[in-house]
Amino acid sequence: MSEPRMRTRDFSLFYGEFRALNRVSIDIPENRITAIIGPSGCGKSTFLRSLNRMNELIPGVRTEGSVMLDGEDIFRKNVVELRKKIGMVFQRPNPFPKSIFENVAYGPRIHGVRDRTRLAAIVESSLKASALWDEVRDDLGRSGLALSGGQQQRLCIARALAVEPEVILMDEPASALDPVATLKIEELMEQLKRDYTIVIVTHNMQQAARVSDFTAFMLTDEARAGNLVEFGPTREIFTTPVDRRTEDYISGRFG
């Protein structure tokens, strides 16, 4: 395998005095889907949000260790540039109260694209890449909020793709969707990984097993800090996990 696209080393995160993540070291391979699983409160979303510095918006947050993107320390980068390279899709679809076109064109505009033809081309290719184009091409002026939940989520993915990121972070991207819309998102992820590196946080272990190439299992320790228990190829995690705690969790023997 080539060099990992992202790499964390002994990464810890504190909310004030409380250690929420404890020395997490993980390599996120390029053009692969990496799933992060674990029970509620294990720090998986905190970890995901650390990868594009979303946690910095929370007062009192402090970090230790390193997070690298293509071998460069993300904390030394311009945060706007960083988030252009590392896009994010959230649990609840959150389109802007604007037209479908404007939702997708928003990012490129912020990054200085003014030309209408160029914007139209970006909107079309992004909507195609997010498998929404055929459903909305005839009415791009319609409000993004008028779409179904599954369509809204694909619109948000198109919005993330429009700025040509390298990495896409997905925080429970299908948990608010019905099974059919969920399947569409999963199929879309499979296509997207040809061009992007994807990291997904999911509560749904079967989803992690279905879509991901690599799986990281996180768990809190006695001090309630999130730890990485096991990381490896998804196939191995779900057939022959090394750590007893991983086996218990994925077999549903927790609580």
Instruction: Please report, as ranges, the residues that interact with other proteins according to CB under 8 A.
Output: 205-206, 209, 238-241, 246-247, 250-255
Strands 197-201 and 18-28: unpaired
User: What minimum distance in Å lies between the beta carbon of 222 and other proteins?
Assistant: 21
C-alpha 198/C-alpha 39 separation (Å) is 21
Q: 42 or 208: whose CB is closer to other proteins?
A: 208
Produce one character per residue of 124-149: b if its CB has 16 or more CB atoms within 10 Å, e if not: bbbbebbbbbeebeeebeeebbebee
DSSP 198: E
Q: 37 or 225: whose CB is closer to other proteins?
A: 37
DSSP 74: G
Q: 47 or 238: whose CB is closer to other proteins?
A: 238
Strands 18-28 and 6-15: antiparallel
Token couple for 27: 């390599």
User: What minimum distance in Å lies between the beta carbon of 231 and other proteins?
Assistant: 15
Q: 11 or 238: whose CB is closer to other proteins?
A: 238
User: What minimum distance in Å lies between the beta carbon of 35 and other proteins?
Assistant: 14
At position 217, the amino acid (one-letter code) is F
User: What minimum distance in Å lies between the beta carbon of 237 and other proteins?
Assistant: 8
